[in-house]
Amino acid sequence: MSGRYFIDTNIFIYSFHEEDPHKREISRRLISDALGNSAGVISYQVVQEFLAAATRKFKKSLTFKDSQRYLAVVLEPLCEVYSSPELFHQALEIMDKWRYSFYDSLIIASAIQADCSILYTEDMQHGQEIMNLGIKNPFL
Taking 70 as the threshold, does the pLDDT of residue 101 lie above it?
yes
pLDDT at 30: 97
**What is the pTM assigned to this prediction?**
0.95
What are residue 7's DSSP bridge partners?
A: 120
What pLDDT, in 10s, does the model give residues 41-72? Answer: 999 999 999 999 999 999 899 999 999 999 99
Write down all domains in the chain, each with its CATH number in brackets.
5-136 (3.40.50.1010)
pLDDT at 2: 64
Distance between CA atoms of 135 and 137, rounded to whole angstroms? 7
pLDDT at 13: 97
Taking 70 as the threshold, does the pLDDT of residue 1 lie above it?
no
133-136 vs 129-130, strand pairing mode? antiparallel
Taking 70 as the threshold, does the pLDDT of residue 109 lie above it?
yes
What pLDDT, in 10s, does the model give residues 2-45? Answer: 689 999 999 999 999 999 999 999 999 999 999 999 999 999 99
R_g over Cα of the chain: 14
Q: In what order do the strands lie in the sheet with 129-130?
A: 79-81, 40-43, 5-7, 118-120, 133-136, 129-130
